[in-house]
Chain A
Amino acid sequence: MSLSKRQRARAVRSVQYGVLVAAVVAFALVADWHQLRMAFFDVEVAKALFPEIITTALVNTVLYTLLGFGFGLALGLVLALMRLSSVPPYRWLAVTYIEFFRGIPCLLVFIALGFGVPLAFEVALDMNITVMLSLGLVGAAYMAETIRAGIQAVPKGQTEAARSLGMSHGRAMVSIVIPQAFRIVLPPLTNELILLTKDSSLVYLLGLSLTQFELANFGRDALNEHKSLTPILIAGLLYLVITLPLGQLVRRLEARTAKAR
């Protein structure tokens, strides 16, 4: 029996579906659901987590992220402008910074600031400031590149038109180019915000007091207390509570921008 090309393609696809379905069914049959449910969905344990997991952990995660993102965005903008500058040392400085902080793990930055600074200068920075700097320094390196790309994506004609109206170069940048650039880079900036949200869990390295716990640490602490994995699952879901609306928000903003054009 010879199959036509189309029939063969269909048969191949059927086998692929079959394997997929079989894998799912096998997983469902083989997995010990009772064990899983006991470990991950212990209702009593889940109840014990509230309201602190919201009022402390979720709030702190958002706080740490916003601190880091705010500082990172400001620094990132400066770095992007430095990178596009006509003054060579500015460019070199910006490139060195970006390559360095984009290349090293965020973990190292936390350790360097959290433990290195106190050892070197005998002053401990405030927790929130350490978090802001650590997350911000790394975030800025990524955001600088994003913003630079955004600025370069604004048509040259915009600058030329602004200049021909008598605006200075700086004025044109601030009033014409940068606002348009930010519209362009909105989606990648949101990505960065979401990444920072998860990176904020690295704050555990600094040592946390009860009021400073964020989601990941809170979940793991409760895991120890209750000897159940449920807290980890719930903490994980709460990250989604932060990140899903963010994605929604960006899609909204994008739609509005598209309409405005």
Chain B
Amino acid sequence: MSARSALPVIAAAAAIVVLAGCSSTKSDGKKGSGGLELVSSGTLKTCTHLPYAPFQVKKDGKVVGFDVDLVDLVAKDLGVKQEIVNTPFEGIETGQDFTIRKCDLAAAGMTITSARDKVMDFSDPYFNATQALLTKSGKPFKKVEELKGKKLGYQKATTGGIYAKKHGKGVELVEFEDLGLLLTAVKSGQVAAGINDNGVLFDYVKQNPDTKVTAEFNTGEHYGIGVRTGNDALRKKVNAVIKKAKSDGSYDRIYKKWFGTTPQS
């Protein structure tokens, strides 16, 4: 073998040694207080999908809302700052965002379902949600079944969509990427009605008096805060904070701030 042809081989071998050296010295990650490990130390990263008023919505260049205030309590307890990561809902819902360590927890007005429970761990329920039907004012629809032959819009990867698919035989279902598009489609008459969680729809109706929530379907849904599967340290912390907030009145205060009423249960 001449020296010339050996050059690439030597270079490659050297580079591999260097790179292998790098990869074998992976750090163990910094431990936070109480064995709690954050994706990046000093910040509590929250995955959410905007906009979802009044749970998370952008206002004056900041993300605010019910979920944001609640998670702020957790962040305060941990002595860190909350950082919101806006990401497509499907990435949150499928657990992918946790797999790739995009965030520590997900607070996205997300209903606890068994399918989602398989790909992440949920906190205790922190909000009771029902599905509701939004139409333009003056439309009579009270049930999904009454929309036979008409268009019913739902948001991709939401429980409203699951409800619509289950009860909407003969209804033309139309899928929307996000809530904003769904609501606009109802307002512009592209769909006869839209289905989504009660909290957001009531918030929308407040700002848009030409629309109305005509029905609520009690589906027994609860919102939960999601963490990466096995991240019990953080999950327990979140549960403790929710429990404390409910007993010391700060939960009711936040609830009143965003919904104008006090929680029923």
Contact = CB atoms under 8 A, between A and B. Distances in A.
A binds B: yes
Interface of A: 7, 10-11, 14-15, 17-19, 21-23, 25-26, 29-30, 114-115, 118-119, 122, 124, 204-210, 213, 217, 220-221, 223-224, 227, 229
A141 B23 CA distance: 50
B36 interface: no
B212 interface: no
A22 B185 contact: no
Contact of A207 (B95, B115, B118, B175): B175
Contacts, number: 102
Nearest to A12: B7
Given A14-B11, A227-B94, A207 B16 contact: no
B96 A229 contact: yes
B189 A122 contact: yes
Interface of A is mostly: helix
B94 A207 contact: no
Interface residues of B, number: 41
A227 B119 contact: yes
**A-B interface, 3 closest residue pairs, ranked by CB to CB distance from nearest:** A18-B11, A22-B15, A14-B7
B90 A209 contact: no
Interface stretch (B101-109, B176-184, B219-227, B231-239): B176-184
Contact of A26 (B8, B20, B189): B20
A207 B188 contact: no
Contacts of A204: 177
Contacts of B184: 115, 119
Contacts of A118: 188-190
B12 A18 contact: yes
Given A17-B12, A25-B12, A207-B181, 15 more contacts: A18-B15, A19-B15, A22-B15, A23-B15, A115-B181, A119-B187, A122-B189, A124-B188, A205-B181, A207-B185, A209-B174, A217-B175, A227-B94, A227-B118, A229-B96
Interface in B2-59: 4, 7-12, 14-16, 18-20, 23
Nearest to A210: B173
27 contacts: A11-B7, A14-B8, A17-B12, A18-B8, A18-B14, A21-B15, A22-B16, A23-B15, A23-B19, A26-B19, A114-B190, A118-B188, A118-B190, A119-B187, A119-B188, A124-B188, A204-B177, A206-B190, A207-B176, A208-B175, A209-B151, A209-B174, A209-B175, A213-B175, A221-B156, A224-B90, A227-B118
A195 to B, nearest CB: 21
Contacts of A207: 153, 174-176, 181-182, 185, 190-191
A208 B187 CA distance: 17
B172 A209 contact: yes
B116 to A, nearest CB: 9
Contacts of B67: none
Nearest to A25: B16
Most buried by A among B172, B185, B188: B188
B239 to A, nearest CB: 25
Interface in B149-200: 151, 153, 156-157, 172-177, 181-182, 184-185, 187-191
Nearest to B175: A208
Contacts of A30: 19, 23
B8 A21 contact: yes
